[in-house]
Amino acid sequence: MKLVWLHGPPAAGKLTVAKALEKEHGFKLFHNHLAVDLSLSIYDEFGEKDFHDFTNSIRRQTLSKANELGVQRIAMTFMTCAEEDREEIKRYLDFFESENIQVFPVHLSPRHDVLISRSSSVERQKSHKISCEQHLSELLSQWRFFPIHHRNTLEIDNSEKPAKDVALQIMHHLEAN
């Protein structure tokens, strides 16, 4: 199974690009908030107790099942700040290797002004996503969002690129590797 692991800051366009991969190129879509929302249905607050461990176990079990079912290509969205999440990223990379999942980390890195303008979209406000410009601005000043270090990593500045074009660039990257 080939996994496109879309990662980057909030409002980077991860889900939008994943939807383009799904629509234009036949990928299955497993976005971050499927696991987060499921966890929030039983936890009182995001991040409490073992929330992150449980949420990550949902992701791994889902990807393992997709691989078992013979899914050929899947796009997964994930907000990660490589340095802060280094240990969890390593666990994921080890998991992918153990499951024989070929991973292609794709770091979406639009400019900060683009992130801020995207953060208040109607779609974001309807979800559990960060949709407050001030909150996102504070987060961006506190955290550095780096690409995941891996031989198949692709970094894309999608500030001005439509999701369909980003998806096509990802497809070319998959074909070349």
Element (H, E) at 73: strand 73-78
Whether the pLDDT of residue 35 is over 70: the answer is: yes
Contact at 8 Å (CB) between 168 and 154? no
Determine the average pLDDT of the residues in 86-108: 95
Q: How far apart are CA 147 and CA 170, in angstroms?
A: 15
Poorest-confidence range of 4-8, 92-96, 111-115?
Answer: 111-115
Residue 119 has pLDDT above 90, yes or no: no
| Per-residue pLDDT, 79 | 77
Q: What is the pTM of this model?
A: 0.87
Q: Has residue 133 got a pLDDT over 80?
A: no
pLDDT at 11: 81
Determine the average pLDDT of the residues in 1-23.
94
Pairing between strand 2-7 and 102-108? parallel
**What is the model's pLDDT at position 159?**
96
Query: What percent of the chain shows pLDDT beyond 90?
Result: 66
Cβ proximity of 82 and 140 under 8 Å: no
Radius of gyration of the chain from Cα atoms? 16
Neighbours of 103 (CB within 10 A): 22
For the chain, domains (ranges, CATH) are: 2-111+146-176 (3.40.50.300)
- pLDDT at residue 121 greater than cutoff 60: no
Residues 6+ apart with CB under 8 A from 28: 22, 66, 71, 73, 74, 75
pLDDT at 24 over 90: yes
Tokens for 93?
């990379």
